Chains A and B, each alone.
Chain A
Amino acid sequence: MQGVGPAVCLGNDVDTDQIIAGRYLRTKDRSVWAEHVLEDLDPTLAGRIRGVVIVAGRNMGCGSSREQAVVALREAGVVGVVAPSFARIFFRNAVNVGLPVIEAPVSSCTDGAHVAFDLDEGWVEVDGERYPARPLSAKMVAILRAGGLVPYWRSRR
C-alpha cells in the first residue's frame, strides 16, 4: 500500500476534539465532518487537505474514541497520516476506515514537502529523507488493504 502527496504539518497532541468538534457529531452526514475537519486548530485547513499527507507530531489523535475524526480526514481527501506516535484508538480507527496511518520518527516537516510512503516496504520519505515505518500486525495490514474493517468483514463471509 503506497501513497504520495504534499505535506500539511501539524504539531504534537492534536486531539480528536480539534479534528472534529463535539458540536458536529450528531449527524450521519460524513460531508459535515469533512467540511469542519480540524476547524478549531485552523479553520482554513478543511479547504486545503484534499490529496495531502498529514505529517503530525507526537500523540496524534489523542482524546475521545470518536471515529468521526478519522472519517472526517478520509472524507476530506487526506491520503495518509504520518506521525512519530499515535493515540491507540485513533490509530485503530484509522485502519478500520481504510485511512493509512504510518508511525515513523519524522523529525521535521515543512508544509508542501513531498511525502511518499510504502506500507508494504515499511518506509516514509519526506523531501527525499527516508524514515522506517513501524510495521503493522498482519491483521491490520489485511484490514487496511481491504479498504477498512467493513469491506474486510464482507470479504470474509
Chain B
Amino acid sequence: MSTLSERILGAPAGEYVDRDVDLAFAHDGTGVLAREALREMGVERLPHPERLHLIFDHIVPANTGTTATLQAELRRYARSSGVALSDAGGGICHQVMSEGLVRPGMIVAGADSHTCTLGAFGAFATGVGATDMAAIWASGGTWFRVPETIALRLSGRLSGAAEPKDAALAYVAKLGMEGATYRALEFVGDGAAGVSMDGRLTLCNMAVETGAKAGMFYADATTVRYLAEHGVSASPQVPENCRYEREVNIDLSDIVPLVAIRHRVDTVREVAEVAGTQIDQVFVGTCTNGRYEDLARFARIVRGRKVAVRTLVVPASRAVLSRAIATGVLADIVDAGCMVAPPGCGPCLGAHMGVLGEGEVCLSTANRNFKNRMGVGGEIYIASVATAAASALAGEIAVPEVA
C-alpha cells in the first residue's frame, strides 16, 4: 500500500530512483543558468524538447538592458532548440503549467522552488536547481529520493472570511519552516473534496515553506472537471490505505484569517492581533494567490469603494487576466484605485515593479516574507486575498468582513 509519491515514483520511501521526467520547465531567471550549464556540458540536441518549457515570468517585461539581453539570448535558444516558450506576459510558470499541461500521475520538475504547487493535480512535482534542470533537458530524466510522507488530514469546510491561504498559513505554522524537510505532504481526508482547484494550488504552493519537496492532492471529480475545462481528459486517483510518517489534523471550520509576520513564514498570528498596523502597499498576486478565484474575491470586496493605500494587483497568467476582463472583475479592481501589472511574479522577489523602500511595509498575498526580500529595509506581512482587500480599503491591516 503506497503513498501517492511512492505510487508515482514506483518505489518505497527512502529509495533512490532514476526516472524520466514528463514535464520540465525553467523561467527567465533559472533558465539562463540552465542554458549555461547545457553549454558547458556540450549538449547540442535535446532528446525530448516536447516535454520542455521556458516560461518568462520573474522579471517581465525586462527592467534593465542587462535583463533584456539575458532574456533575448534565452528566447533565441528556445526557438532554435524546439523548447516551448511562454514569453513575457504569458504568466507565472506554475500557473501556465496548471492550465492544461500537468496531469495526474505525471513526474514534473521545475527550476523554481514553488513547483510543488502542481501537486494539486495528483502529480509528483518538485523544484530543482538550474544545473539539475540542464541535466534533465540533456537526458530526459533525473534521480529522486522517494520521500516519506506527512498526511495533512483535512476535515470540515472553510467558513466566514477564511480562505485556502489561511489554511496554508495554518499548516505552515503547525509544521514550521523545516517541519517537512525531505518529505512530501499529502492533503487527504473528508475536507479535501470541498477545496476548489485554485484553493488546492494555493495549499500545495506553500508546501516548500515547510521544507517539503512536494505537496499533493489526489485527483478527484474536481480535478477531472477542471482539466476537462482545459481540454484534458483525466481519471481520478484512488487513495490506498498507506502508512504515513506522521498525520496532522486540520479542521478547516476552525480556520480564521491569519497573517505571517516578519521575517518568517511560520510566525503566524490571527489578523485581529495585528489589526491597525500601518502599511504602505498591498500586493495581490503571485503563484500563491494570483488566480481568477483570488482576483474575483478581491474585486467582490473592493467593488464600488476606493483603496486607501498603494495597491498592486498582478494576475498570475494571461488566461486569468483575460477572464477577469471578460467578467468585469478587472474593471472593479481598477475602478477601486488599484494598479494592475502584466502577468508574472511582480515584486514578490524584489526585482522590480513594486519593490519596497527602507522602512516600508507591504501586506502581500505571496508566500515569503524573508528579510529584505521585496527591497532592503522593507517589511512583509503575508496574508489572504480577503485580508489584503480589507487592508487596502482601510489603509492598515484589517480583519476581513464575512462575505
Question: Residues of A at under 8 Å CB distance from B?
Answer: 13, 15, 17-18, 21-23, 25-28, 40, 58-59, 62-68, 70, 85-89, 92-93, 96-97, 137, 139, 148-150, 153-154, 157
Contact = CB atoms under 8 A, between A and B. Distances in A.
Contacts of A22: 349-351, 373
A139 B132 CA distance: 13
Interface string B51-83: 000000001000010110010000000000000
4 nearest A-B residue pairs (beta carbon): A93-B129, A59-B178, A67-B129, A96-B131
B167 interface: no
16 contacts: A22-B351, A26-B64, A40-B376, A59-B181, A64-B112, A65-B128, A66-B30, A67-B33, A87-B178, A88-B182, A93-B131, A96-B129, A139-B16, A148-B131, A149-B132, A150-B40
Interface string B100-127: 0000000000011100000000000001
B113 A65 contact: yes
Interface of B: 16, 29-30, 32-33, 36-37, 40-42, 59, 64, 66-67, 70, 111-113, 127-132, 134-135, 138, 143, 145, 177-178, 181-182, 211, 213, 264, 349-351, 368, 370-373, 376
Given A18-B370, A150-B131, A64 B349 contact: yes
A124 B264 CA distance: 30
Contact of A87 (B42, B111, B211): B211
Contacts of B130: 65, 67
A28 B36 CA distance: 9
A23 B370 CA distance: 14
Given A62-B211, A65-B112, A67-B130, A150 B37 contact: yes
A23 B350 contact: yes
Given A26-B351, A154-B41, A85 B373 contact: no
Contact of B371 (A18, A65, A67, A96): A18
B221 to A, nearest CB: 33
Contacts of A18: 370-372
Nearest to B182: A88
A26 B72 CA distance: 13
A59 B208 CA distance: 12
Contact of A88 (B135, B177, B213, B350): B213
B42 A157 contact: yes
Contact of B30 (A13, A40, A58, A67): A67
A93 to B, nearest CB: 4
A59 B177 contact: yes
B191 to A, nearest CB: 28
Contacts of B372: 17-18, 21, 40
A96 B132 contact: yes
A27 B349 CA distance: 16
A74 to B, nearest CB: 12
B128 A26 contact: no
A45 B29 CA distance: 25
B13 to A, nearest CB: 14
